[in-house]
Amino acid sequence: MKTIRGKVYVVRDDIDTDQIIPAQYLNLVPTIPEEYAKLGTYALCGLPDGSAPFVKPGAPKAEYTILVAGRNFGCGSSREHAPIALGAAGIRAMVAESYARIFFRNVVATGEFYPFEVAERLCERFATGDEGEIDPTAGTIANLTAGKTFAMKPLGAVAPVVEAGGLFAYARRAGMIK
């Protein structure tokens, strides 16, 4: 895995799938390239009023490549569109205290980005717009703006699945399916 560097977007606890991608956008088909791109423009548009826009109006993608969250990210309904929307918006990695189980499974299955976990409450150690750097080999995330580095939990067995681009790509690569 390569180092991931870029701007960070921060959210807190209990961000549900309706906030990640509201239901009215679930008619977009991610396998159609134009609709995949459009799905990304709506990522996190369901956050409460007053939240910094994740994707600026008229922009094709977010300016952020790293998402930092609190506890229980992705709770709510099982919605494969949620990780797909974040990936389409340009997220390459996410770091959270914890994920809703089905959301984590969908992230791994789609291979859109790396879902790291941390024991520390990093949503209070980063601010939206900070420059971050994730070193998967060292198992760290650095807030380059603040000059602090934090440990992440290892991805373990899901790492090669995400790196391959999701469950089906991994199965093809491993010779499980053609």
Domains identified in the chain and CATH numbers: 4-173 (3.20.19.10)
Determine the pLDDT at residue 79: 86
CA geometry: angle 99, 37, 39, nearest 5 deg:
50
Strand partners, 151: 140
Instruction: Say which DSSP state 8 is in.
Output: E
Determine the pLDDT at residue 155: 93
What are the residues whose beta carbons fall under 8 Å from the beta carbon of 29, sequence distance 6 or more? 35
Give residue 149's identity as a one-letter amino acid code. T
pLDDT in tens, 88-145: 999 999 999 999 999 999 999 999 999 999 999 999 999 999 999 999 999 999 999 9
Determine the pLDDT at residue 72: 98
Q: How far apart are CA 41 and CA 57, in angstroms?
A: 8
Instruction: Say which DSSP state 157 is in.
Output: G
What are the residues whose beta carbons fall under 8 Å from the beta carbon of 110, sequence distance 6 or more? 80, 83, 84, 87, 166, 167
pLDDT in tens, 6-32: 999 999 999 999 999 999 999 999 999
pLDDT in tens, 53-87: 999 999 999 999 999 999 999 999 888 999 999 99
